[in-house]
Amino acid sequence: MFVYSFKASKKKMRLGILVLIGLIAAILIVVLTGIGGGDTAAQGQAQETAAPTKISTNEERVNYLKSFGWEVNPMPVSSADVTIPKTFDAVYEEYNVVQKKQGMDLEAYKGKIAKKYSYTVLNYPAYDGAVQANLLIYDNQVIGADISALALDGFMHGLTHES
């Protein structure tokens, strides 16, 4: 058994406490601002398209879609509970690729029940078929979104054409 003792002056104790407080503050800043992983192009794009922190009313959902340039019928076509699978199949993997491109990721919501709201898009350019905007909401946050054509040979992309 080893015993080690030391004597610190009040000045050294104060300095140690200040360093510890500074270290804790730096960790909190990194955690709260999400700086930790370096700045990649995908993270920069995610910041540009990040979902609002809270979105709880139909009006907020419609305005959210409007912020991306979509005019929708303000009454949802449908709303339903959707369970995000614990294990993604190929379809969910592909869907999550679209989500990641627009700064969202469903990985953290595996096994959770989200609410899906679907709206009729009224201003989709150069397409005559039916188009819907879909929002996945969990705990009043948008965790997934897409614009989809309802035809069998339709399309699906994020809220912008680039995503």
Domain range annotation of the chain: 52-157
Task: Determine the Cα–Cα distance for residues 117 and 162; give it in Å rounded to an integer.
Answer: 22
Q: Which 8-state DSSP code applies to residue 140?
A: T
- How does pLDDT run across 57-114, given as a tens digit for each residue? 999 999 999 999 999 999 999 999 999 999 999 999 999 999 999 999 999 999 999 9
**What pTM, to 2 d.p., does this model score?**
0.68
CB 37 within 8 A of CB 43: yes
- How does pLDDT run across 31-57, given as a tens digit for each residue? 555 444 444 343 344 334 544 568 999
